[in-house]
Amino acid sequence: MAKLRFDHLFTGSAWLHDAVLTVDDGGILTAVQTAADLEARSDEAVEHFRGCALPGIPNLHSHAHQRAMAGLAESSGAVDDSFWTWREVMYLHVGRFTPDDMQAVAAQLYVEMLEAGYTAVGEFQYLHHDPAGEPYDELAEMSLRCHQAARQVGIGITHLPVLYSEGGFAGLPPTLGQRRFLNDVPRFLRLVERLEKERDGSSAVGVAPHSLRAVSPQDLQDINQAFAGRGPIHLHIAEQGKEVEDCLAWSNQRPVEWLLDHQDIDASWCLIHATHMTDAETRALAATGAVVGLCPTTEANLGDGMFNAEIFRQAEGRFGIGSDSHISVSPVEELRWLEYGQRLRLNARNLSAGGAGRSTGRQLLKSVLAGGAQACGRDIGEIAVGKRADVVVLDTDHPLLCGRFEDEWLDSWLFSGNQSVVRHVVVGGDIQVREGRHRLRDEVAATFRKTLEGLRS
Ligand SMILES: [Zn+2]
């Protein structure tokens, strides 16, 4: 059991001052109190953190291996560069990726996430097989390497192994570049069961049929039935205009419209991107209780388009954030892009605040904490009894935050600059980041450097 004391603490719904958290040996919060409530507190060993604490942010959408190619697809390789030309660069890049490479890159990525304030990741992992497309002796090898990386550096993880079986709508055959991703439903379910054996307090398992273009309606149905009640279901949808056109040509329906018509979508689902929706689709999706996984920096980088956030917010839709291709690893940047995109689109300010006198930062954080927790299928996203003790502490002495109080700290974290104000990060009661540095930063970075040299030689 441990006791952690914070000068100021945002629980996710309320502010406490001089707060003390009690954490059991399993990393779960057993009490949330103010110091004044504690009896005989001077007798107890309490670690005191200065600054302003808030729940750790869940990062609900990650393809860890893509961290190694961030910045390497920014010179024009085609007359009309697009998501689809980027995808070819990515396929080339993953061609040589080994299990050791996966573990080294994931560990580096997860250290960066923790230092940025993310305490949980949803790992949407599709690179399953060896470079020739043959399964490894251990079917779940690549996902297990992500698991080991997460354990090593201390981030919570929700495994989202991906079912990928087709090259496009209407059963288009997969391309050579996709051979490392492919499984049929029975083998995929064996992979899922293998991962479920590793499940513990800091991890969970969901499934991820990749997208409507990569799985058949029958496969989607089979996965949904086989996995019902076992964990979250994630799916990429309506990311690109061309995807909408192809879906219309195939089914005479738009992707979100088709999905809502053919699957019973509920709160166990997380739809990644959902960029291209009509207002009617947006309202219908909001009503299901599913989470939309927004990845604004990746969506901007890939030229995907802009999410219909204002209509979705008005319909009380749930959302979280992910860093997806990892061209940025920062909840600040994701949330800022989300809000600024809407401001540019609608020529208005403080849209996410959702009403007069409300803080934009607080509302954004509140939404992505709840949405991220739901999509990750774990008891996180809130500082409350029964939840994991995942806490981020901001440095209130930092010039960007000084002279602020309560919600102003949250607004200033998101909207006042680019220097990191994340001072300490606690995951499941364990301190992973102190004074802005992860305990394994140098060691993990050294292995990552060697890995990158190998991949680029
Ligand atoms: Zn993705």
E-state strands within 274-421: 291-294, 318-321, 391-394
**How far, rounded to the nearest angstrom, does the alpha carbon of residue 395 sit from its chain's CA centroid?**
24
* 40 band by pLDDT with thresholds 50, 70 and 90: very low
Can you tell me the mean pLDDT for 315-321? 98
Check 236, 273, 326, 398 and give the catalytic one. 273
Calpha distance 161→179 (Å, rounded): 15
Q: How far is the CA of 417 from the centre of ligand 1 (A)?
A: 27
CA distances from 68 to 107, 294, 453 (A): 11, 21, 11
Residue 324 is a catalytic residue: yes
Q: How far is the CA of 210 from the centre of ligand 1 (A)?
A: 9
pLDDT recorded at residue 42:
53
Instruction: Classify residue 316 by burial, with Cβ atoms within 10 Å: 0-12, 13-18, 19+.
Output: exposed
In this prediction, what percent of the chain has a pLDDT beyond 90? 87
* 315 band by pLDDT with thresholds 50, 70 and 90: very high
* Per-residue pLDDT at 37 exceeds 80: no
**How far, rounded to the nearest angstrom, does the alpha carbon of residue 452 sit from its chain's CA centroid?**
24
Cβ atoms within 10 A of the Cβ of 243, count? 25
* Per-residue pLDDT at 25 exceeds 80: yes
Determine which helix (DSSP H) or strand (DSSP E) holds 237, and give its type and residue range: strand 233-237
pLDDT recorded at residue 45:
66
Determine which helix (DSSP H) or strand (DSSP E) holds 379, and give its type and residue range: none
Answer positive or negative: Cα dihedral of 304, 310, 314, 319.
Answer: positive
* Per-residue pLDDT at 31 exceeds 60: yes
According to CATH, the topology of domain 57-376 is TIM Barrel (3.20.20)
Q: Return the domain boundaries, the chain.
A: 2-55+385-442, 57-376
CB 373 within 8 A of CB 58: yes
Q: How far is the CA of 62 from the centre of ligand 1 (A)?
A: 7
List of residues 6+ apart from 178 with CB closer than 8 A: 91, 164, 167
* 250 band by pLDDT with thresholds 50, 70 and 90: very high
Q: Residues 387-406: pLDDT tens digits? A: 999 999 999 999 999 999 99
Calpha distance 70→74 (Å, rounded): 9
Calpha distance 206→320 (Å, rounded): 16
Of 368, 361, 365, the C-alpha closest to 408 is 361
* Per-residue pLDDT at 203 exceeds 60: yes
Helix axes 185-196, 217-227, angle to 10 degrees: 30
Of 240, 365, 352, 371, the C-alpha closest to 293 is 371
Q: How far is the CA of 124 from the centre of ligand 1 (A)?
A: 7
* 363 band by pLDDT with thresholds 50, 70 and 90: very high
* Per-residue pLDDT at 353 exceeds 70: yes
CB 102 within 8 A of CB 96: no
- Residue in the block written with tokens 């779940």: 140
Can you tell me the mean pLDDT for 332-355? 93
Check 324, 390, 395, 411 and give the catalytic one. 324
pLDDT recorded at residue 84:
79
- 326-347 b/e (C-beta count within 10 Å ≥ 16 → b): bbbbbbbbbbbbbbebbeeeee
CB 316 within 8 A of CB 354: no
Residue 273 is a catalytic residue: yes
pLDDT recorded at residue 1:
85
Please tell us whether the domain made up of 2-55+385-442 is placed in CATH 2.30.40.10. Answer: yes
pLDDT recorded at residue 44:
65
Q: How far is the CA of 229 from the centre of ligand 1 (A)?
A: 23
* 355 band by pLDDT with thresholds 50, 70 and 90: confident
Q: What is the largest CA-CA distance in the chain?
A: 71
* CA contacts within 13 A on the Cβ side of 55: 30
Calpha distance 333→351 (Å, rounded): 17
Can you tell me the mean pLDDT for 89-110? 91
Task: Report pTM.
Answer: 0.97
The backbone torsions φ and ψ at residue 382, rounded to the nearest 5 degrees and listed phi first, read -155, 145
Determine the 3-state secondary structure of 148 from DSSP: helix
pLDDT recorded at residue 375:
98
Cβ atoms within 10 A of the Cβ of 319, count? 27
Can you tell me the mean pLDDT for 432-436? 98
Cβ atoms within 10 A of the Cβ of 166, count? 20
Can you tell me the mean pLDDT for 6-29? 96
* Per-residue pLDDT at 457 exceeds 50: yes
pLDDT recorded at residue 431:
97
Q: How far is the CA of 299 from the centre of ligand 1 (A)?
A: 10
